[in-house]
């Protein structure tokens, strides 16, 4: 009897322990009682009734990412391409997620494919390639609205890859190559133009500087000659002044006149005129002395 009671106690404890559940963070459990929904367990410790309650579904409340396989779509200009999408979603209502739709991920995948075909069908190829942000925004809005009854919130939708046909890709590559060559030609022409302009400006500035240097040299040369003439004239004036102050005699003037004739004789002239009466030169010197003396007396 005691063994039977101990066995019952052990079985009771096992059943009790097996019905004690701890819900971890960012999770929720859907509880059914006798086949019908009865509660949603949040984070913490919970006890369910044995053989009556059961955990129907464990729901992860964290944001999740699902990457769908590439889907064939046709643009408005009849170009068939492959596009794969990435959907970021989060379960906001565990009860709706558990009972709203069968196989929610398959439902989202099919909804994503049909929505993508509808959007791309209204766009041409070039618009499809350049309007990713617009397509992402429209898809997110449509999917978020459609998944609300399922307890799912779509946070983001991204076009992962857009794969046009091989012929279209080759044509696009040739077009890009031609565009790059055109830009290269333009840049090269602009560079040559700027180089020619800089060379011409350099030659112009060089010519201006040479002209200014030549002008400055001529001005300095003229100023030097003028100063030399002034110095010579000042020296002559000083010499005359000194001679006047020294009161030269007729003999000294005669000697200076003879020195002047000697200097003329050293020149390149082929003829020299010498006075027939050399004494007249002395008389001339005497006359000059008298003129100088008279000017001093005045």
Res 277: pLDDT: 47
285 pLDDT exceeds 60? no
Rounded Cα distance, 50 and 53, in Å: 6
Residue 77 is given by DSSP the state T
Would you say 78 and 128 are in contact if contact means Cβ atoms under 8 Å apart? no
Rounded Cα distance, 294 and 296, in Å: 5
Res 229: pLDDT: 86
CB-based burial label for 276 (10 Å; 0-12, 13-18, 19+): exposed
Would you say 123 and 131 are in contact if contact means Cβ atoms under 8 Å apart? yes
Higher pLDDT, 293 or 65: 65
pTM of the entire predicted model: 0.55
> What is the domain partition of the chain in residue ranges?
2-60, 64-164, 166-246, 247-265+274-298
What are the tens digits of pLDDT across the range 220-232?
888 888 888 888 7
Own/partner long-range contacts of 288-291 (Cβ < 8 Å, ≥24 apart): 288/253, 289/248, 289/249, 289/250, 289/253
For residue 262, name the pLDDT band (cuts at 50, 70, 90).
low
Mean of the pLDDT values across residues 204-217?
Answer: 87
Res 255: pLDDT: 58
- Domain 64-164: which CATH number of 3.40.50.2000, 3.20.20.70, 3.30.460.80, 3.30.479.30: 3.30.479.30
What are the tens digits of pLDDT across the range 71-102?
888 888 888 888 989 999 999 999 999 998 88
Res 87: pLDDT: 93
Res 88: pLDDT: 94
């Amino acid at each position: 009897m005691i063994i039977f009671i101990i066995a019952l106690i052990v079985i009771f404890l096992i059943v009790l322990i097996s019905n004690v559940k701890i819900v971890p963070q960012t999770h929720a459990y859907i509880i059914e009682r006798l086949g019908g929904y009865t509660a949603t367990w949040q984070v913490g410790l919970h006890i369910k009734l044995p053989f009556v309650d059961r955990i129907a579904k464990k729901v992860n409340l964290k944001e999740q990412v699902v990457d769908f396989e590439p889907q064939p779509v046709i643009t408005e200009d009849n170009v068939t391409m492959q596009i794969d999408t990435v959907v970021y979603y989060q379960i906001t209502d565990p009860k709706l997620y558990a009972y709203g739709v069968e196989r929610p991920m398959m439902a989202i995948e099919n909804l994503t494919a049909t929505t993508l075909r509808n959007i791309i069908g209204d766009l041409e190829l070039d618009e499809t390639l350049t309007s990713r942000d617009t397509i992402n925004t429209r898809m997110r809005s449509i999917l978020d609205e459609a998944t609300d009854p399922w307890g799912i919130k779509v946070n983001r939708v991204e076009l992962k890859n857009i794969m046009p046909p091989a012929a279209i890709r080759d044509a696009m590559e040739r077009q890009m190559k031609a565009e790059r060559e055109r830009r290269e030609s333009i840049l090269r022409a602009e560079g040559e133009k700027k180089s020619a302009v800089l060379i011409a400006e350099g030659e112009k500035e060089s010519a201006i500087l040479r002209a200014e240097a030549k002008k400055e040299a001529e001005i300095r040369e003229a100023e030097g000659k003028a100063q030399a003439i002034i110095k010579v004239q000042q020296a002559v004036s000083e010499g005359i002044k000194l001679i006047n102050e020294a009161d030269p005699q007729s003999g000294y003037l005669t000697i200076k006149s003879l020195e002047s004739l000697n200097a003329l004789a050293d020149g390149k002239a082929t003829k020299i005129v010498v006075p027939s009466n050399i004494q007249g030169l002395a008389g001339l010197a005497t006359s000059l002395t008298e003129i100088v003396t008279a000017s001093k007396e005045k």
